[in-house]
Chain A
């Protein structure tokens, strides 16, 4: 057997690659274990809205091929039989455009955005650096603290409802909450909007960027970085068990029976899968196992990638949101909870940019995020429902569709306020020594930012140094 690894990372998504690259960069001997045969098999989505800029900088991703086709997509609010409104970075253009929906909302939007961005910026120490929200909020001025405490119990729908009169605008802005995995009528989901506004892409607060090649483009850059720093990447290596020695992690066992030893394991898989399926129940205690095993309603954002024969009427360089009114979310969620297929979903559409330089030309695609979709969805029903909704705004759309790929909603913890307000170590550490989470369940909300992976890597490096010193 070869020399043991310092750290093993399970799962080859964005988080796994970020963690493994940062660990290798610090000089640790690391291996990434990916279940599927190819690394980019499940790369879905066209847009990035939360990637931590420090990850981009530390791993020199720009030098490794991460390019952006669009740096900030404006948001187009699609309306049934009416003028669309465009919300962009240009304040005045936005105000002019919103005035078509409602003059009062056009005036209110600037104030709303200022308030949201200021609070979001003030919350960054908690969500970027991993401090606990309590410490951060305790330093706020009373007025801002009051706003924070109010939003912590307010639903996104209620907050937006108190700010704007146009239902379409309210519904469109509420989409940011479902991107974080929170139903917008859930108490506290207003803070998810704040979390989304605290993100930064290309130096712009709350921007939504399109990398060349979509999320796969980011993964390729990350894989290059991992290789460059000397991390080993092993594909077609599904982990079936974590091996324990004296209650601490000792390594992993693969499906082919091989064991790989390491004193530290970072898992980018979901908390439930990591702690319930990969460990014997006694390892985390039967009480905790029972709590984790409790069935939760599983639904989330599904991504549909339509490959098109020719360009659709949705132009690149924009995000389009289809959600008629705030009740659309509630009605659809109720249907999903009852096991039915909702007729109305909330959709976000992003058309692929036409990249002339690329040869052969990449196929034209329209990436659609749909919410809510149950994990037990029926593919054809979903495609038909989404197609019908798009056809309302782009008649004849389904005729130019060549193919449709569906990426099902990722499972993970349900949204919880505790997780949103907890410090980084609370989210990352598990009750098993040596086992850290670095995936989507270690993030404050259900969204990939690479930040949890960065923090987990930092924690792992510290643990490694401590063990060496001993």
Chain B
């Protein structure tokens, strides 16, 4: 029989790599299984055209905790944070830099820190539940009133002008599909899709995380198709590969999303019916498309090429329209789009004189109402997007060398994310914080003994990079020390 590991981690994304580093650092025999040929998950950089590099899934990552950055010793492994620059909005005739929104973002940070502190504390018993009457109870719940605030109202309250409000909203909903007027949409600010850029695009951070994990002694096996999670007498016994092999392990951390983990890797009879129903009702829907563009020359833009995100003509009306279209499975006429010149902040991503442009597009349905994504539909969308870019950056069309479009099914294929949802579930008040699995430190536990859930579907997942992996790893170590793992 093959050797038995203390912990097997499914998926070598940022959460998995952080968990592996901590587990291996604690002296556990740790193995990571990744179905892609490289580790990093969302945090990869790829050469999509000779000489042009881009991170295919996102340009920026949610913030990484400073303490964790040093704890994992990422600086020594080559991670280099690029100083943040403010997003701008670009119209055909003008540009606008976003206000710093100091008060609002201080408030966002405070609430997020509270939420993370709650997600990271030992679970009292009975397990806590979110309380809508927060202010007067012991559990000072961070998001109590934002669960019923709309993003549009919040933005209107803080922004000096309508354009600034639209810019703020567009940034919060980058790559997502949500109605900014709906109550609870304010939570998108707490679960940011972007925040920090890294040298070498996101792959730079991914490589550093992988190097840290390897140095700590974790084994990373890539290119392994995942079969199922094996159970023996109600306990996890290992991970089965697609080719029939098995990795035996005392505990498993899954960094896949909730549905993929429980509905894809288990036979449903292992779980009780109530749990299966609850998991099936968790709403996961993808809405993100990405367009990678190689440009033969740097576009000239008055005021220089911005380093941060560029929102193309943000407008609340357009977001409402796009969301309604997305709901009915229609590709919006003018999907909300964010541009990013990766080569502006890291020139190594493109040949000298050339530029890399990436676009994050929101409200793109996973399955259009008229059937799956065909080659023609992709071509059509690419052309439409390039026209939209051309409107604000005239003349860019002539310099396009190559494009690559990723629609939600591609994300699903590459990342194993259900429906191509990069945030492991709709960001809605009934699916955030305590209503996501894995709230409080003792709760990455799942209905199956020895299986821990990390990744985007957990409470901490969408709040902070790597946080859910750390929480799961710490729960596993605590259980092991207390002798709760066979």
Contact = CB atoms under 8 A, between A and B. Distances in A.
A337 B320 contact: yes
Contacts, number: 85
Interface string A309-353: 000000000000000000100110011011000000000000000
B34 to A, nearest CB: 33
Nearest to B323: A334
Contacts of B429: 153-154, 187-188
A149 B181 contact: no
Nearest to B132: A152
Contact of B148 (A137, A334, A417): A417
B76 interface: no
A338 B327 contact: no
Contact of B324 (A155, A334, A417): A334
Contacts of A152: 132
B132 A149 contact: yes
Contact of A331 (B132, B136, B183, B328): B328
B248 to A, nearest CB: 37
A70 interface: no
Contacts of B182: 183, 185-187
A150 interface: yes
Interface stretch (B109-117, B123-131, B397-405): B123-131
Given A158-B428, A187-B148, A421-B133, A334 B283 contact: no
A416 interface: yes
A335 B324 contact: yes
Interface in B282-324: 283, 317, 320-321, 323-324
A161 interface: yes
A465 B317 CA distance: 53
A161 B429 CA distance: 16
Interface residues of B, number: 29
B133 A417 contact: no
B133 A187 contact: no
A187 B430 contact: yes
Contact of B428 (A134, A187, A335, A337): A187
B132 A153 contact: yes
A142 interface: yes
Contacts of B317: 337-338
A155 B430 contact: yes
B133 A186 contact: no
A334 B428 contact: no
B179 interface: yes
A150 B320 contact: no
Given A158-B430, A187-B430, A330 B324 contact: yes
Contact of B147 (A133, A158, A187, A416): A187
Interface in A368-382: none
Contacts of B277: 162
A166 B284 CA distance: 19
A337 B148 contact: no
B161 to A, nearest CB: 15
Nearest to B319: A334
Contact of A153 (B133, B156, B323, B435): B435
Nearest to B316: A337
A153 B321 contact: no
A152 B131 CA distance: 9
Contacts of B192: none
Nearest to A142: B126
Contacts of B129: 145-146, 149-150
B184 interface: yes
Interface in B238-292: 277, 281, 283
B181 A337 contact: yes
Nearest to A137: B133
Nearest to B181: A337
B115 to A, nearest CB: 14
A248 to B, nearest CB: 30
Nearest to B185: A187
A162 B133 CA distance: 25
A297 interface: yes
B62 to A, nearest CB: 22
Interface string B323-365: 1100110000000000000000000000000000000000000
Contacts of A145: 129
B321 A338 contact: yes
Interface in B185-237: none
Contacts of B324: 330-331, 334-335
A374 B16 CA distance: 50
A153 B183 CA distance: 9
Given A149-B129, A188-B148, A334 B184 contact: no
B3 to A, nearest CB: 43
Best-buried of A158, A183, A187, A294 by chain B (most CB within 10 Å) = A187
Interface string A183-206: 101111000000000000000000
A462 to B, nearest CB: 25
Given A153-B430, A331-B327, A421 B132 contact: yes
A187 B181 contact: no
A114 B469 CA distance: 40
A415 B126 CA distance: 32
Interface string A393-405: 0000000000000
Interface string A126-156: 0000000110010000100110011011110
A184 to B, nearest CB: 11
Contact of A134 (B136, B179, B283, B435): B136
Interface string A418-435: 100100000000000000
A142 B327 CA distance: 35
A191 B184 CA distance: 15
Contacts of B179: 185, 330, 334
A370 to B, nearest CB: 18
B132 A154 contact: no
Given A146-B129, A154-B430, A161-B281, A188 B320 contact: no
B147 A338 contact: no
Contacts of A415: 183
Contacts of A330: 179, 324, 327
Best-buried of B133, B317, B428 by chain A (most CB within 10 Å) = B133
Interface in A154-170: 154-155, 158, 161-162
B185 to A, nearest CB: 8
Nearest to A185: B182
Contacts of B281: 161-162
A340 to B, nearest CB: 10
Contacts of A158: 283, 428, 430
A416 B327 CA distance: 24
28 contacts: A142-B126, A145-B129, A150-B435, A152-B132, A153-B132, A153-B184, A153-B428, A153-B430, A158-B428, A161-B281, A162-B281, A186-B184, A187-B147, A187-B148, A187-B184, A187-B429, A187-B430, A188-B429, A327-B327, A330-B324, A331-B328, A334-B179, A334-B324, A337-B181, A338-B317, A417-B147, A417-B183, A421-B132
Given A134-B136, A153-B430, A187-B182, 4 more contacts: A152-B132, A330-B179, A330-B327, A334-B321
- Please provide the 6 A-B residue pairs with the shortest distance between their CB atoms, ordered closest to farther: A187-B184, A334-B324, A153-B429, A162-B281, A154-B430, A187-B429
Interface of A: 133-134, 137, 142, 145-146, 149-150, 152-155, 158, 161-162, 183, 185-188, 294, 297, 327, 330-331, 334-335, 337-338, 415-418, 421
